[in-house]
Structure 1
């Protein structure tokens, strides 16, 4: 059985095996297991950081020989690099359908982008307690203050709680996630924007988890600012972006004072450049910006219907499989939420999340995240005070990755029940590891500390 879509392609049914939608640079990476076998790494930790797309890695290799200083350089390579950098900025802004008068500031990551905007907001900020720390901690330090609203059990009641704070308030900004990094759920962006704008507040969307999974438009949604990271968008080369309305960013003090952010300097002071240069002091990350731009081009070329269906199939396969394991429970925010992106958080009864993650890695070659996912208030409210596990699916995953995780979890539950895990794993200061790790390390430089740890375990 297959599904026909309005845009043309014939898509596989939800129960069919599907392959990765785009090739990754790490597709053939193999890792050693405890039993001596080597297997292809099943990376289900993209919500923390994605591998590079193969096309992104190729683009970085292509432009590296032409790297030089950007802006103000007369040398040939400097001219080439400057052109590449500014074209990358344009491509990144186009990817989120920026308005004509919006600007794109190249940052280090989402955290950096939100801190930049926090330095520019001229009033109080409103947030929910569901936020990643990147969209919570900067507002706690804001001189104008922050109001944190506790999310309710439904989308409707959560929107009502936000509106209650906005009515008659002097909030300048509502900062909200585009998709939860814990559950993948989101509030309807159009209704959030309408509420905020009705009461005179602008909207920042933390797009770190949304943009790797869905198309997004500043113009169509009316969102005022969006922040995201290259390392979650298949471009892990140390750059991110803040894109949105110019006025606050032009009026704000330079975020990083230094070369490139000024028009004129005297010993008494400086005349600052307008944004975005105003906030990009120092030598910018040309390679990181080019990597994000390359990823944006690859994602923009995808059929959005095929993209969403690919992820929906994988997420449904994962959730249904987890539900079939009695010892496993999944977490959710809202009973009336729309379809989440490919992020699923779960627990295994009677087992520390760190132990489960270590076992899956050592015995099945699977990468998942364990802990509180830099979202402590939300994880605590969900009752996951000891932490949980998170699996995330994306463009580089196929059915085999999901099936291997489910098989690994079933094997773990069985081994836990029979005591087979005893003595093989140990916890030190809350961190799980192997009591003795015979797995060889990759033959690459820079692993001395890991080698010492492995040697100590064997001793």
Structure 2
């Protein structure tokens, strides 16, 4: 099959009635300029990095913004409402992730912040896999790294051997790889950790926006996630889990709200979430997360899983048909993967490919090693990859626009000339106008 015929067939399939987005994001209907003066529908396949808010979330934030005020100690009516919003959001997060009665929900900035908070509280060694995002690799003070094996089963055996060899306080694992989308069996990992006297923390930055996860049902002790990957990009994340380590740890931030009493000679620190949430909390960010989780529940787990499965199959099958392209995988027996695909080229630069996808076709993807350098360097044959990721706002039309553009660029190369800069590949002559909103920001 030639590249030209493949493109023609792809364009024909794109005219069929496609699977539509499952939910509306705030960027729906967005058109972007491309080189030469045209404007095209924006195809956003960079959702694994950061996702626009759901329309329902953006509307909720707009509705509550006039009521924004100080929290917890304010006596005004707006302050009372703002306090209820924060604490109601805390309860909503706890319920959605199956927190136990004794668990706490601490609002943070993002997953990285949440895992750094937990790292300050762990009373011993931490075992991690080499496939982790840097946020779940770098914070741990006493870290023992296990190299993931070619199979999930082999990796479980390697972890068991390490935990049996020397005691550890915590096993810290990703719920889903941000490079390959492959899922790890959290319940089995929790059972393994507990059998050797360790707790388990799950980096759910990628998992939570795609699958519902329960602390109580899985046996996980801690869960960390970001709002900005879960269609609530308003600057908040959360750490959810067992209170005892957090209550015994030095407060993450020293300041107002974290204290019960202060004198010039002593401080009485609070326990619970307040111990690590000094300063004014991100009211809108917390409320946005709760609104996103409510929307996940309204859509339903079966519908979310079926939608993503269909998109992931179409995306993966289409990429596999492109000559000169290889998909990257960490395991040969992963039972399931999210709609995240990373590819590498036999020849050429994925950075240039990503730049041309955007500048010439209005398609947003990501090129690089995705803050998972040890994993990428082990499983890839090239220095960088290109990642495409889907979500609730993706439909088959977006998948097909990407595949048509990918096939064309791999077969024929970019139409325009590009130069490599410290910020990446850029068109030599870029005539795409910038919107007026940037002038207000400047």
Match of 2:54 in 1: 53
1:37 Cα offset (Å): 1.6
Is 1:440 matched with 2:437? no
Q: In structure 1, what is the Cα distance between the partners aligned to 2:193 and 2:379? A: 26
How far did residue 430 of structure 1 move?
Answer: 6.6
Paired position in structure 2 for 1:43: 44
Aligned-residue CA RMSD (Å): 1.4
Aligned residue in 2 for 1:88: 89
State whether residues 226 and 243 of structure 1, in contact with CA within 8 Å, keep that contact through their aligned partners in structure 2.
yes
The question of whether the paired residues in 1 share the 8 Å contact of 2:328 and 2:380 is answered with no
Q: Structure 2: which 5+ residue stretches go unaligned? A: 1-15
Cα distance per residue 1:379-415 (max 9 Å; x no partner): 1001355211000011110001110110001110232
Cα distance in 1, alignment partners of residues 212 and 184 from structure 2:
16
1:308 aligns with 2:308: no
Shift of 1:446: 4.4
Runs (5+) with no aligned partner, structure 1: 1-14, 450-459
Residues 195, 113 of structure 1: alpha-carbon distance in 2 compared, 3 angstrom cutoff: same
For 2:327, the equivalent position in structure 1 comes to: 330
Distance in 1 between residues matched to 2:233 and 2:62, nearest whole Å: 14
1:6-57: per-residue Cα shift (whole Å, max 9, x none)?
A: xxxxxxxxx9720000111110211001132211211100100001000000
Normalised TM-score (structure 2): 0.94
Q: In the TM superposition, what whole-angstrom CA distance separates every residue of 1:213-246 from its partner, at most 9, and x where no partner exists?
A: 1111111001000000000000000000000011
Taking the TM superposition and a 5 Å limit, the aligned residue runs for 1:10-409 are 17-139=18-140, 142=141, 145-409=142-406
Instruction: Indicate if the aligned counterparts of 1:168 and 1:199 stay in contact, CA closer than 8 A.
Output: no
* Secondary structure of 2:169 counterpart: strand
Matched residue count: 427
Q: Which residue of 2 aligns with 1:11?
A: none
Q: Give me the whole-angstrom Cα distance separating, in 2, the residues matched to 1:211 and 1:76.
A: 34
**How many Å apart are 1:339 and its aligned residue?**
1.2
Q: Is the 8 A contact 1:180 1:186 kept in 2?
A: yes
- The structure-2 alpha-carbon separation of the partners of 1:214 and 1:448, relative to structure 1 and needing over 3 Å to count, comes to closer
Q: 1:204·1:225 contact (CA, 8 Å) conserved in 2?
A: yes
Secondary structure at the counterpart of residue 137 of structure 1 = coil
Take 1:261 and 1:396, find their aligned partners in 2: how far apart are those partners?
39
CA contact (8 A) 1:26 1:51 kept: yes
- State TM-score, norm by structure 1: 0.91
Tell me, in whole angstroms, the C-alpha distance in 1 between the residues paired with 2:295 and 2:439.
32
Does structure 2 retain, via aligned residues, the 8 Å contact 1:34–1:438? yes
Q: Are 1:379 and 1:385, in contact at CA under 8 Å, matched by a contact in 2? A: no
Runs of 4+ in structure 1 off by over 2 angstroms are 445-449
Task: Tell me how far 1:431 sits from its aligned partner.
Answer: 1.3
Do the aligned residues in 2 keep the contact of 1:25 with 1:54 (CA within 8 Å)? yes
Contact kept? 2:342, 2:385, Cα under 8 Å: yes
Give the secondary-structure state (helix, strand or coil) at the position aligned to 1:159. helix
Aligned equivalents of 2:56, 2:246: Cα separation in 1: 33
Give the SS at the match of 1:241: strand
Give the secondary-structure state (helix, strand or coil) at the position aligned to 1:167: helix
The superposition leaves residues 364-389 of structure 1 with CA deviations (integer Å, 9 ceiling, x where unpaired) of 11000111100010110013552110
Contact 1:177 1:207 in 2 (8 A): yes
- Alpha-carbon shift at residue 301 of structure 1 (Å): 1.6
Mapped pair 1:425 → 2:418? yes
Distance 2:73 2:67 in 1: 16
SS of corresponding position for 2:56? helix
Does the aligned pair in 1 maintain the 2:190–2:200 contact within 8 Å? yes
